[in-house]
Amino acid sequence: MSTSRARARRLARRLSALYPEAACELVHSSDLELLVATMLSAQCTDAMVNRVTPALFRRFRRPSDYYGAPLEELELAIRPTGFYHTKARHIRAACQALDERYGGRVPSAMEELLTLPGVARKTAHCVRGNWFGLPAITVDTHVGRLSRRLGLSAHQDPTRVEADLRALLPEAEWTAFSHRLIQHGRRVCHARKPDCPRCPLARTCPSAGGFRK
């Protein structure tokens, strides 16, 4: 095993001990709800999405509810999440595609998910990992930032960060590792001012000056 892989697995074990219950924080009860919630989470916090979705999911229960309703109604319902014009159009188009191509069900295959309007790799991985239980590395802003700070990737492009993490960790750890990086990013390794003095990973973090093989 290479040094980089061994170090990544040590980090994974430490994160597992720190955040053993880390999981998707988007509240959902179906594949469709998770898909929509993840699309709404772009440039928006999970907390805000969770404030919006209870009323949204009571009104819109099936794919046809989304594309059958007036666009303005959907826009108004999701407005607090930001970029609501674009999000509403994408959600309507994705839901219509679900009915037309997949019998109203959210597909599990990456190739099929990526055919849905507004669905890129982050959203597809979130759905695959959290609804279907498939190995998935969801590279959001936290995962990207921490991967670079911890020396797991040197890339800005989420697809290349994903590839680096896939090469370092076994598939069985992908989904949980993503959630734990997100938790650590929210609680300790903040974007503007990381709390290095109280970070349990500081001794092995090159950004904190403590990189040790």
Q: Do 168 and 104 have their domain in common?
A: no
Question: pLDDT digits over 33-55, tens only?
Answer: 999 999 999 999 999 999 999 99
In the predicted structure, residue 17 carries a pLDDT above the cut 90 = yes
204 or 55: which carries more pLDDT confidence? 55
As a whole-number percent, the residues of the chain with pLDDT over 70 amount to: 97
| pLDDT band per the 50, 70, 90 thresholds, residue 208 | confident
pLDDT of residue 207: 87
Instruction: Check: CB of residue 75 under 8 Å from CB of residue 85.
Output: yes
Say how many domains are in the chain: 2
Give the residue among 11, 10, 15, 24 at the shortest CA–CA distance from 140.
24
The predicted structure's pLDDT at residue 4 = 87
Q: Are residues 159 and 126 in the same domain?
A: no
Q: Can you give the CATH number for the domain in which 93 is found?
A: 1.10.340.30
**Of 132, 88, 142, 143, whose CA–CA distance to 110 is shortest?**
132
The answer to whether 122 is a known catalytic residue is yes
Domain final residue pick, 87, 110, 130: 130
Q: Which of 122, 157, 195, 213 is catalytic?
A: 122
**Are 97 and 157 found together in one domain?**
no
Average pLDDT, the chain: 95
Instruction: Evaluate whether residue 182 is within a structural domain.
Output: yes
Residue 45 shares a structural domain with residue 101:
yes
Compute the C-alpha angle 54/116/37, nearest 5°. Answer: 20
pLDDT tier at 56 (50, 70, 90 boundaries)? very high
Q: Is residue 62 part of a domain?
A: yes
93 and 18 assigned to the same domain: no
Q: Does 54 share its domain with 122?
A: yes
Asked if residue 173 is part of any domain, the answer here is yes
Which position among 46, 87, 140, 164 bears the catalytic label? 140
Beta carbons within 8 Å of 105's beta carbon, 6+ residues apart = 31, 98
Q: What is the domain range of residue 115?
A: 31-130
Question: What kind and span of H or E run contains 50?
Answer: helix 46-59
Query: What pTM does this model have?
Result: 0.92
213 lies in a domain?
no
Mean pLDDT of 18-27: 96
Q: Which of 99, 130, 161 is the last residue of a domain?
A: 130
Answer yes or no: do 168 and 97 share one domain: no
Q: For tokens 């959001």, name the residue.
A: 140
The pLDDT score that the predictor gives to residue 210 is: 54
CATH number at residue 173: 1.10.1670.10
Mean pLDDT along residues 188-203: 94
> According to the model, what pLDDT value does residue 3 have?
56
Mean per-residue pLDDT, 58-70: 98
**Residue range 79-121, pLDDT digits in tens:** 999 999 999 999 999 999 999 999 999 999 999 999 999 999 9
Of the three residues 90, 111, 130, the one that is the final residue of a domain is 130
Q: Are residues 122 and 80 in the same domain?
A: yes
One domain for residues 123 and 158? no
Same domain, 99 and 40: yes
Place 74 in a pLDDT band, splitting at 50, 70 and 90. very high
Whether residue 166 lies inside any domain: the answer is yes
